[in-house]
């Protein structure tokens, strides 16, 4: 899991290894593959009307941006342990909340940075309005956060457990 604080990102060993593997792939085999695509498209002739060339260059740009993001993230990363199972909401926890105390209107999410987003459960950043509102709260406590329209929403923490991949 991740927790960002003063430009330091806290990662579990598993998350660090996963991001490092992605970086190694993007800056090695994937970089070679995109260079071959660009070269093949370039050989087709007129670059102004060559859709394959422009698509490959755009893909290369996105890939290089992700490489820079990963390099910066890993450069500032501190590897630590998963959070304790103590019912306190913090990054690395799967949190279930009830809106306005209504236990039939709930949301379960992983509180982590988007680099650790998973298909298993929705991910909310600790820096998001909801993340900031619930961070540090305990199961049973209420929290408030600001909605995009400027209004305040109240939620009750129903559960907070460490995320298990």
8 Å CB contact between 98 and 142 = no
pLDDT in tens, the chain (165 residues): 444 444 556 676 777 888 899 999 999 999 999 999 999 888 887 777 888 888 999 999 999 999 998 888 888 777 766 677 788 998 888 999 999 867 788 999 988 876 666 667 788 888 889 999 999 999 999 999 999 899 999 999 999 998 776
> 155 and 103 in one domain?
yes
Q: Supply angle C-alpha 50, 55, 60, rounded to 5.
A: 130
Residues 73 and 14 in one domain: yes
Domain boundary among 56, 80, 104: 80
Same domain, residue pair 16 and 76: yes
Q: Where residue 158 sits, what CATH number does that domain have?
A: 3.10.50.30
- Rounded Cα–Cα distance for residues 55 and 124 (Å): 31
In a domain, 22, yes or no: yes
The Cα 153–Cα 143 span in angstroms is 8
- pTM, full prediction: 0.58
**CB contact at 8 A, 90 and 111:** yes
Counting the structural domains of the chain, the total is 2
Range of the domain at 132: 93-162
């Amino acid at each position: 899991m991740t927790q960002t604080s003063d430009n330091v990102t806290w990662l579990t060993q598993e998350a660090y290894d996963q991001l490092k593997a992605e970086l190694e792939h993007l800056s090695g085999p994937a970089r070679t593959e995109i260079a071959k695509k660009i070269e093949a498209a370039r050989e087709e002739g007129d670059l102004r009307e060559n859709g394959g060339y422009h698509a490959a260059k755009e893909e290369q740009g996105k890939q290089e941006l992700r490489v820079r993001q990963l390099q910066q993230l890993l450069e500032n990363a501190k590897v630590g342990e998963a959070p304790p199972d103590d019912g306190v909401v913090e990054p690395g926890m799967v949190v279930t909340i009830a809106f306005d105390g209504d236990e039939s209107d709930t949301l379960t999410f992983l509180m982590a940075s988007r680099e650790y987003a998973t298909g298993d459960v929705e991910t909310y950043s600790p820096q998001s309005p909801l993340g900031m509102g619930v961070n540090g709260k305990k199961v049973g406590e209420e929290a408030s956060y600001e909605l995009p329209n400027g209004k305040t929403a109240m939620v009750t923490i129903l559960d907070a457990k460490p995320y298990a991949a």
